[in-house]
Amino acid sequence: MSRALQSFFALFLAFTLLVGSADARIFNPTSYTLANGLQLVVIENHSAPIVTHMVWYRVGAADETWGKSGIAHFLEHLMFKGTPTTPVGQFSRLVARNGGAENAFTTEDYTAFFQTVAADRLELVMGLEADRMANLVLTDEVVLPERDVVLEERRQRIENNPAAKLGEMADAAFYLNSPYREPTIGWEHEIRTLGTADAIAFYKTWYAPNNAVVIIAGDVKPEAVKAMAERTYGKVAAHDVPARRRPQEPEAYAPRRVVLESAQVQQPSWSRRWLAPSHGAGGRPRVYAIQVLSEILGGSTVSRLYRTLAVEQGIATDAGSSYAPDAIDSTDFVVWASPRPGGDLKQVETAVDRVVAELLEKGVTQDEVAKAKQQLQDRAILARDNLETAPRIIGSALMTGRDINEFEAWPERIGEVTVDQVNAAARLLFRPEYSLTAELKPKPTS
């Protein structure tokens, strides 16, 4: 999934929005490190006798070898293909038979697998994950048919979706040198070349306990979970994992624009993104000010963008902004708007430009900053109530360079943001040469 597309999904909005109040920690996790290097994080939540168990690996699409795009996502699929003790298909059947649900996902920076089960079934799924961490069996008989599954997934998700096609092209044009320009699912012509040897090499390189974090949230006690982890994951041997060396973005000299016209498009849309610092790339402490800026500019229906375009001018059905700072490399800050039926993209773009220009000229106000910080902090209640939210937010943070203490101090950091810092963040971000504009339009009929 591209960084631009991630910005629009609720999970990544949660990463940037769901935080703790200024006088409390967020999730109060307990952390251990096993002898083999595996990090274990436990979040107690005794609201129901269930548990979410997640395994995160520090490897994603941006760590792939040039010309092998899609191998990280492909291996995510192949991790369900069995071990000597858990044959093909048995993993999912065991989870289902024990009343659980499971899934997995791959991004540019990490790969994660998760199950939600009754608390008394936790050690079962821990054992299953520990087994496939070290003992995955891959042969042509299981690898090649799954490659066809991935190709079909790409056709459905990308080729048949104009917005996804535009996002893919926009990523490739926006990032000049960063591996974030490559699609996580992979380019079709490169997916077709991936084989068993590629999958085995990637697996043996990156899948190790010392390159993983296990996060467990639910009706458990930390010491009991630690004992389970030692009985399961503790048996997996560590091995050397290469450093994650990423090419960096060069200086940019010109704005870019990508336009896609398609007969499948019914409603046009417009967006602009700017290169932005992240937690992993030059972000501290600027990311906190940028999060407040995003809330002021387009974080809600009372934001400047929505209020101006949708309410006052009535030219858009929606308008907003997003910023996902949990990344290893430079990320993006996105603003978007959808014109009302029959509306004009140029009119929407001009209105957005005026809102941004006014913000740069006059700055944000003390009242806006105070309200934005309060809105961000108030949303913490939702984060604590959902059993799956904590491991997802913590996992993303740990995978992209933050430690637990830094993450738990988020409320304090956001509370320290000043008007001057937000205005400085705006001046840093809104540089035309570091921007890309994307337009999705209906194809004119002949």
At position 190, the amino acid (one-letter code) is E
Positions marked active-site? 76
Quickly state the pLDDT bin for 2 (edges 50, 70, 90): very low
Q: Residue 91, SS3?
A: helix
Query: Does the N-terminal peptide bond of residue 285 adopt cis geometry, omega within 30 degrees of 0?
Result: yes
Entry pTM: 0.92
242 CB neighbour count, 10 Å cutoff: 10
The pair of three-digit structure tokens given for residue 58, joined into one six-digit string: 């520090």
In the predicted structure, residue 401 carries a pLDDT above the cut 60: yes
In this prediction, residue 57 carries a pLDDT of: 98
3-state secondary structure 321-382: EEECCCCCCCEEEEEEEEECCCCCHHHHHHHHHHHHHHHHHHCCCHHHHHHHHHHHHHCHHH
Hey, what domains does the chain have and what are their CATH numbers?
A: 29-235 (3.30.830.10), 256-442 (3.30.830.10)
Q: What is the DSSP letter of 119?
A: G
Of 160-164, 357-361, 373-377, 421-425, give the lowest mean pLDDT range. Answer: 373-377
**Burial annotation 416-443 (CB, 10 A radius, 16+ → b, else e):** ebebebbbebbebbbeeebbbbbbbbee
> What Cα–Cα distance (Å) separates residue 315 from each residue in 203, 355, 385?
50, 14, 37
Quickly state the pLDDT bin for 282 (edges 50, 70, 90): confident
In this prediction, residue 411 carries a pLDDT of: 81
163-185: per-residue pLDDT in tens?
Answer: 999 999 999 999 999 999 999 99
Q: Where are the beta strands (DSSP E) in 381-427?
A: none
326-348: per-residue pLDDT in tens?
Answer: 999 999 999 999 999 988 999 99
> Rounded to the nearest 10 degrees, how much is the dihedral formed by the CA atoms of 429, 434, 435, 436?
-150
Return the ∠ at Cα 364 (arms to 284 and 7), rounded to 5°. 55
Quickly state the pLDDT bin for 444 (edges 50, 70, 90): confident
Name the region of 24 (left: φ>0; alpha: ψ -120 to 50; beta: rest). Answer: beta
In the predicted structure, residue 16 carries a pLDDT above the cut 70: no
